[in-house]
Structure 1
């Protein structure tokens, strides 16, 4: 896990709210509820998790070896 960034800021595509979150290292996070408008976010097509779609930093597995969490 050398040089893996665990903090990412998720931006809601509906209301624009931003929130810093700590990404899990043992699983992908497929769903994320916006704390502002309560929209349930899901990854965009081709992405494995909400961090890869809406975060400022890709998830740890992608950072490490580019492989999806699957």
Structure 2
């Protein structure tokens, strides 16, 4: 995951948390729900990016193992 993407996703989560808190304090259910939506969207994007990075790493490891086996024959 690039640093920029990680910061962007975390900023979205923090913004969502702030909106949730403001909505809770102010009694504004719409703002609270919007904050929850932003926070969850940021968390989902971060989790998806981590899974993507992990899969890419697994593919690269498999390629390296395959190359290693091919060279030793």
TM-score (normalizing by structure 1): 0.27
| Greater fraction of residues in strand | 1
TM-score (normalizing by structure 2): 0.26
Larger Rg: 2
